[in-house]
Amino acid sequence: MYKNDQEFLQKRYDPVHNRTIDYKHDAWERIMAVLSGISKILTSVKLLDVGCYDGYIASLMREKMGDSCRLYGVDAANNSLTLARKQGMIVKVCDVTKGLPYTTNFF
């Protein structure tokens, strides 16, 4: 089928947008576009970042969504959560293989 990843990426073509797909770049742009659209519809948004580490990625998402976005994060490494708290996240230590520390329908 494809000899390597490079050939796969070169041959992936999006007929709707009439261009070759750049997954690494396009995925982030699409995520940001969706988040921006959600923030225009909802007055309050809760965003959960599983494996949040220092909260950097979630903070970028909040920039796109605005102040109505409340950030929550879980990570197995307690020491990284201090950094996430500095990003304004509500964080918990969690082993996600055992479930999330939130009630059903919290998000």
pLDDT in tens, 61-82: 888 888 888 999 999 988 889 9
Nearest to 61 by CA among 74, 46, 82: 46
Whole-angstrom distance, CA of residue 66 vs CA of residue 79: 27
For residue 17, pLDDT over 80 is answered with no
> How many other CB atoms are found less than 10 A from the CB of residue 94?
19
In this prediction the pTM is 0.68
Torsion of CA 50, 24, 67, 37, to 10 degrees: -110
